[in-house]
Chain A
Amino acid sequence: GENVEQHPSTLSVQEGDSAVIKCTYSDSASNYFPWYKQELGKRPQLIIDIRSNVGEKKDQRIAVTLNKTAKHFSLHITETQPEDSAVYFCAARARADSYGKLTFGQGTILTVHP
């Protein structure tokens, strides 16, 4: 089955700096890669996603890049703000899974210091 590795496990940055979180996946047939943000005690919220036919996607301060050859994808947050502090999870979905089952990474605790 699919295995997703996420790094780093914790990330601390100063407000205004950029933050990058990286994930690798094992199943070359995976075709959908969402990123979720989870604040303490709350639901994971989809912040951006990318499909395998696209190499990069951007939404304001957030961008995701995908390298299918290397089987890794990354989340980039620019001009970080304290409210960006949360746990971020990457995930991958295998093309063959018609039910859309996701395999999640271990999560990254991002702390943005004012």
Chain B
Amino acid sequence: GAVVSQHPSWVICKSGTSVKIECRSLDFQATTMFWYRQFPKQSLMLMATSNEGSKATYEQGVEKDKFLINHASLTLSTLTVTSAHPEDSSFYICSARDQGQPQHFGDGTRLSIL
């Protein structure tokens, strides 16, 4: 149980393109979803916390207009990297949890901006 699916797993696109990443909880209702960014050989950096039906809470230094988060249902959250540039290249991972339960992670999305 507690499976989180993240798509796509790998994206390569041109600078200026917007990229959408989906995070789905397959067998539980995710009251809260989290979006992280991870640089090579580094820890997980929380970008934002999203709750179903409400606006996401962004961490300090994360541009909300750059990283659009939508949590439209209890099983789906999306992260859109708008007008992506090479410095946005990274590994993005989502996690999801139900009330009182641990966070479970998706497989991550490797984003490469040319």
Contacts and interface: CB of A to CB of B under 8 A. Distances in A.
B75 interface: no
B44 interface: yes
Give the interface size class of chain B.
20 to 34
Contacts of A44: 44, 93, 105
B49 interface: yes
Given A43-B93, A107-B43, A99 B32 contact: yes
B102 A49 contact: yes
Contacts, number: 46
B113 interface: no
B32 A100 contact: yes
Nearest to B107: A43
A25 interface: no
Interface of B: 4, 32, 34, 41-44, 46, 49, 51, 57, 93, 97, 102-108, 110
Contacts of A43: 4, 93, 105-108
A89 B32 CA distance: 21
B98 to A, nearest CB: 10
A68 B106 CA distance: 31
Contacts of B51: 99
Interface in A24-77: 34, 36, 41-46, 49
